[in-house]
Amino acid sequence: MEEFGSISFSFPAGFSETDRRALLETPMVVRWLRKMEREFRLSRVEFVSVDWMRREPHRALFAKLRADARDLSGRPTNGIVLLRGDAVGILVVLRVEGEAEPRLLLTRQARVPAAEPSLAEIPAGMMDGSESPREVAVREMKEETGLDVSEEELVDLLPAHPDGYLSSVGLMDERLYLFAYEKTVTADELRKICSGEFGLAEENEHIVLEAVPASRGAELQDGKSLTAWALWNLGRNAHQEGETR
């Protein structure tokens, strides 16, 4: 187990020694603590609540904590943190034969934190620390859309950010990795892609798909989805401008 001798910890009531060890060995927790040790004067961490992954290994899925920390000049800092680890998102662009405008393949599922019963998003998923962003993207594409994709077919939408980008720095540690995947399909293939339900039932995922004109990407409410669409659209416009010169 990682050693953090200079930091005192407190845990939720009923936490076993096994839970404590598993929490302090969870990759996102280790990463955050190690960086805090380098960049701040961290004296105490109070874990307020922890949600565990439903599958093995026994690791934290989310951890809310309060940190007693000062910056390197000694000034106190705000220390309410939600550790949730990193995630990937994939903008799926389908070019349908006979149609001038490409389509975006979007997932729809209930999002309780946003009180949305059927929110449109790009396929996405969380990383557990043992896989690369591309490996997670390939897995999530299969789970959420049924599409078999290779890592080589994924286009990095953030080449200047190999470590992803921070999604909500006032609360979370999460870094997002965004990719694009483009495929030409027939109208019949599109209908088959959008039929059925996807996601992992054991994780309460009930996902349906829809394909909308790419220009409607500006209507997306979800941050990662809107960002991925904007980056892809920016690149497409730049390419089209280059062709006209």
Please state the domain count of the chain.
2
Look at the block and give the residue holding tokens 């939600």: 82
Same domain, 225 and 106: yes
Q: Which of 83, 116, 143 is the last residue of a domain?
A: 83
Same domain, 174 and 124: yes
User: Could you list the residue range(s) of the whole structural domain that residue 169 is in?
Assistant: 87-244
Same domain, 161 and 186: yes
Residue 3 in domain: no
Mean pLDDT across the chain, nearest whole number? 93
Inform me whether the pLDDT recorded for 242 exceeds 70: no
Same domain, 41 and 132: no
Residue 177 in domain: yes
Structure tokens given for 205: 């995922």
Residue 144 in domain: yes
The 3-state DSSP class for residue 213 equals strand
pLDDT tens per residue, range 181-208: 999 999 999 999 999 899 888 888 899 9
pLDDT at 179: 98
Q: How far apart are CA 17 and CA 30, in angstroms?
A: 17
CB distance 151 to 142 below 8 Å:
no
pLDDT at 244: 56
Mean pLDDT computed over 204-220: 95
Same domain, 93 and 192: yes
Q: Which of 37, 54, 83 is the last residue of a domain?
A: 83
Domain of 210, CATH number, reads 3.90.79.10
Q: Which of 58, 83, 108 is the last residue of a domain?
A: 83
Structure tokens given for 137: 């993207």
Structure tokens given for 232: 């892809």
Same domain, 101 and 210: yes
Which amino acid, one-letter code, is at 216? Answer: R
Same domain, 74 and 93: no
The 3-state DSSP class for residue 128 equals coil
Cβ atoms within 10 Å, residue 57: 11
Residue 42 in domain: yes
pLDDT tens per residue, range 150-159: 999 999 999 9
The pTM score is 0.92
Q: How far apart are CA 3 and CA 30, in angstroms?
A: 10
Provide DSSP, 27-66: HHHHHHHHHHHHHSEEEEEEEEEEEE-SSSS--EEEEEEE
Which amino acid, one-letter code, is at 114? Answer: A
